[in-house]
Copies of this chain bind each other. A is one copy, B any other.
């Protein structure tokens, strides 16, 4: 299974020197715990074999940390259920690995925690670049980063929120158009949305776009903001189904709320899509495996993570990045959306 080894490792040096790998490690790192004779021998063998210090050791020489900072600003239980972040980390990690970079991950429970971590990173140069996620309107982190241009930063957000910082931008407003028009074309004239937290920048962008598009088309629209959890998605669905007349379609701001909403519909004898159409913002395997399969706005988040990583590496190299667009959303039509019920 293992691929052919090409790099000379400390284990190869250990074998050729006839000493343990820990002795080699001590010797090469100039640490105590090994005799001077052994150290001299190990260094000679290492030179002969062509052993090279790895990325981490090289980074010391270049005063680069070879680390990218990522702050997870979420409740840990929610992080665990929402595939978005793991997809992004997967893409980031895969791309960074090719450049021998690591991801330095911190978890913050509130925005003050997060500010402290950013300040730490800026003050100590503990990472070579940072990723900014989940920007709020007028987010104070923007100003903090602008005052500290020595720390490269990439924001993943709508470009209208990032005040000129290097940005990997998604066109959420265009995606709103895709979603609403899909339902409109199926005859829906009363649409509800179960949204994420109101203070998040992308919730705001989506709010504004939904209001605009539905007003333009003459579609009745209402919106409930939640904390993104399955429980909140279920609760919002119950509330929407209890009003009279209830909406004929619900769009959820993430996949776990959509799946929870579909469950509530089934438990209440509301047929999907005959009585109620359901859509998810952000597609995932859950949407595909659900019964019925959930129509979703799909984007390749793993690929976005790869792009974000490569942009951060460019920033570290001093290149200009500006605003780069993510691959666009694509509508994946499945069984959960159908013609509006006649009432």
Nearest CB on B from A259, distance (A): 4
Contact present for B80 and A122 (CB under 8 Å) = no
Given contacts A123-B54, A144-B21, contact A86 B80 (CB under 8 A): yes
Contact present for B3 and A110 (CB under 8 Å) = yes
Q: A298 on the interface (CB 8 Å rule)?
A: no
Among B81, B94, B125, B291, which residue has its beta carbon within 8 angstroms of that of A83?
Answer: B81
Contact present for A1 and B110 (CB under 8 Å) = yes
Q: A97 on the interface (CB 8 Å rule)?
A: yes
A85 to B60, CA, bound (A): 30
Contact present for B97 and A29 (CB under 8 Å) = no
Interface residues of A in 45-71 (CB under 8 A from B): 53-57, 60, 67
Main DSSP-derived SS at the A contact region: helix
Interface residues of A in 96-152 (CB under 8 A from B): 96-97, 102-113, 115-116, 119-126, 144, 147-150
A286 to B106, CA, bound (A): 26
A20 to B113, CA, bound (A): 21
What are the residues of chain B within 8 A of A150 when measuring CB–CB? Answer: 22, 25
A150 to B7, CA, bound (A): 23
Q: A211 on the interface (CB 8 Å rule)?
A: no
Given contacts A123-B54, A289-B259, A291-B291, contact A147 B105 (CB under 8 A): no
Q: A310 on the interface (CB 8 Å rule)?
A: no
Contact present for A28 and B123 (CB under 8 Å) = yes
What are the residues of chain B within 8 A of A93 when measuring CB–CB? Answer: 72, 76, 105-107
Q: A177 on the interface (CB 8 Å rule)?
A: no
Contact present for A285 and B256 (CB under 8 Å) = yes
In this complex, what residue of B is CB-closest to A96?
Answer: B107
On chain A, which size bracket covers the interface? 35 or more
Contact present for A104 and B107 (CB under 8 Å) = no
Q: A79 on the interface (CB 8 Å rule)?
A: yes
Interface membership of chain A positions 133-173, coded 1 if the CB is closer than 8 angstroms to chain B and 0 otherwise: 00000000000100111100000000000000000000000
Contact present for B106 and A104 (CB under 8 Å) = no
Q: A37 on the interface (CB 8 Å rule)?
A: no
Q: A203 on the interface (CB 8 Å rule)?
A: no
Stretch with Cβ within 8 A of B (4 or more), from A188-196, A244-252, A260-268: A260-268
* Besides the known contacts A3-B112, A80-B301, 17 further A-B residue pairs in the complex with CB atoms under 8 A apart: A2-B115, A5-B112, A11-B144, A21-B122, A29-B124, A54-B124, A60-B124, A80-B87, A89-B105, A90-B107, A93-B107, A96-B107, A230-B285, A256-B289, A262-B291, A286-B289, A291-B291
A–B Cβ pairs within 8 angstroms, 30 of them: A1-B111, A2-B110, A2-B115, A3-B110, A5-B112, A9-B116, A10-B122, A11-B144, A21-B147, A22-B148, A28-B123, A29-B123, A56-B121, A56-B124, A72-B90, A76-B91, A77-B302, A80-B83, A81-B285, A85-B86, A86-B89, A93-B106, A93-B107, A96-B107, A97-B106, A97-B108, A97-B113, A263-B289, A289-B290, A291-B291
Which of A's residues lie within 8 Å of B, judged by CB? 1-3, 5, 7, 9-11, 20-22, 24-25, 28-29, 53-57, 60, 67, 72, 74, 76-77, 79-81, 83, 85-87, 89-91, 93-94, 96-97, 102-113, 115-116, 119-126, 144, 147-150, 199, 230, 256, 259-260, 262-263, 266, 284-286, 288-291, 301-302
